[in-house]
A = this chain, B = another copy of it.
Amino acid sequence: MSKKRKSHYHADMLSVEEAREKILSVFNKLEEISVNLEDSLGYVISKDVVSKINVPPWNNSAMDGYAVLLKDVKKASNDNIVYLNVIEEIAAGNMPKKSISLGQASRIMTGAPVPDGANAVVPFEDTDENQSKSKEKIGIKIDVVDFENIRKCGEDISEGDKVITKGTEITPAVVGVLASIGYDQIEVYRKPKVGILSTGNELIEPGEKLEKGKIYNSNSSTIASLTEQYGGETISQTHSEDTIEDLEKKLYNFHDVDLIVTSAGVSKGDYDVVKDVLNKNGDMNFWSVNMRPAKPLAFGQIVIKDKKIPLIGLPGNPVSAMIAFEKFGRYAIDKMSGKKIKHRPIIKATLTEDIHNYDGRRLYARVKVSKEDSKIIATPLKNQSSGVLTSMFLSNGLAICPSGTDILKKDQKIDVEMFGWNEDISEILN
């Protein structure tokens, strides 16, 4: 649209940060539960993890070779092969039966405990094992340093070490460390259950036949996918009609969730039933947030079966709903899950076209960030209408035009908040 009116600054408008702070203040970490290690990826550890064992639990060989005494091989070389008596063969998983004295060696496999006395392992390739026919003698062709090719007891973790602190998010490496100290269960914060509901008489569900005047409900699918991506569990009621009966019935099914996310019906100008139902059943606020898209936002707690449940009411436009959920819902899910606050990475990019900001709000403009001749550029998507959901999939970041700034000029260096799809960030950085 070519012409827009500037709104006056509204004193009752909250900044994105103020709104987020108010929202986050009602959320806490959820209860602790115990999960199987194999299901633990993505959870946050709720108790410091102290190891009861050394890792490795005993000195063990890092190579297939011969456990020897340093003294014996001090002068060994290709030209001065030192011969030792082989007194034992130690397979991985077995304890050595004999300790090593001067002139002796034990054949030892990778991972096998090192026998007493030995203070280094000489790999097969540095012995005459291949040439020799005797199994009782081995020729050593190199000298070694103290504890060469030995993984020392406790090298990785010592008994009593606080290995992982609470608040750590479980990654594959954390899973591995927990396994290495024998954990098959781990205490974590429960993942939040999120109830998802779009509202509007015009909505029908994907898979149904399109009727006149109707439109497919995309918000429930989008918000459910985002919730899944952020580590929440979703309980979707798809959509409700704009009637008190239907809306209350659908909300009632959310009695055991930790957060309800609705979309549509929260604009100041609306006279529809969503606000009435939310107000009637709880303690709701209907905010104007100083951002575009997604100015109208509802937040409060509603009472379902005597339980107070926080509710975020997103705008109805699909782009507004996604961006508002990213700015508020994501943080609430992370806080309940015990995660640290994570902002999106910001990349500096050169703008390829002017971005106009018509009404003084902070503008999040969808842009495609790419690399051209080793320069990082941000190209605004043609249609910035908040109804155009394809723009979210064609863009990879949000250019930030600060509140009160009328224009970001072509060739200006601007801040772009990347959605966080790794491949795009990689391509740009590499």
Contact B215 A177, beta carbon cutoff 8 Å: no
Q: A322 in the interface, Cβ–Cβ < 8 Å?
A: yes
Contact flags A194-234 to B (C-beta < 8 A → 1, else 0): 00000011110111101011111111111011101100000
Contact B429 A222, beta carbon cutoff 8 Å: no
Q: A342 in the interface, Cβ–Cβ < 8 Å?
A: yes
Contact B172 A184, beta carbon cutoff 8 Å: no
Give this chain's copy count: 2
- Spell out A's residues near B (CB within 8 Å): 1-3, 5, 37-38, 41, 53, 55-58, 60, 62-65, 91-95, 109-113, 123-125, 142, 145, 147-148, 151, 155-157, 163-164, 171-185, 200-203, 205-208, 210, 212-222, 224-226, 228-229, 236, 242, 264, 267-272, 316-318, 322, 340, 342-347, 383, 385, 387-390, 392-393, 420-423, 425-426, 429-430
Contact B389 A111, beta carbon cutoff 8 Å: no
From A110, A185, A322, residue with most partner B Cβ within 10 Å: A110
**9 contacts across the A-B interface (CB closer than 8 A):** A41-B228, A53-B210, A92-B201, A93-B203, A123-B269, A157-B390, A176-B225, A342-B423, A346-B430
Q: Complex Cα distance A168/B53, Å?
A: 46
A226: chain B residues at CB < 8 Å are: 172
Contact A420 B422, beta carbon cutoff 8 Å: yes
| Given A125-B268, A173-B393, A346-B426, 7 further pairs, Cβ under 8 A | A37-B206, A41-B228, A123-B269, A171-B229, A180-B318, A182-B216, A185-B207
A92: chain B residues at CB < 8 Å are: 200-202, 242
Contact B213 A112, beta carbon cutoff 8 Å: yes
Contact A93 B184, beta carbon cutoff 8 Å: no
Contact A208 B182, beta carbon cutoff 8 Å: yes
Given contacts A38-B224, A182-B206, A343-B430, contact A212 B95 (CB under 8 A): yes
From A55, A173, A383, residue with most partner B Cβ within 10 Å: A173
Given contacts A38-B224, A41-B228, contact A177 B111 (CB under 8 A): no
A221: chain B residues at CB < 8 Å are: 37-38, 175-176, 178-179
A3: chain B residues at CB < 8 Å are: 145
* B164, B181, B229: the one within 8 Å of A216 (CB): B181
CB-based nearest B residue for A318: B176
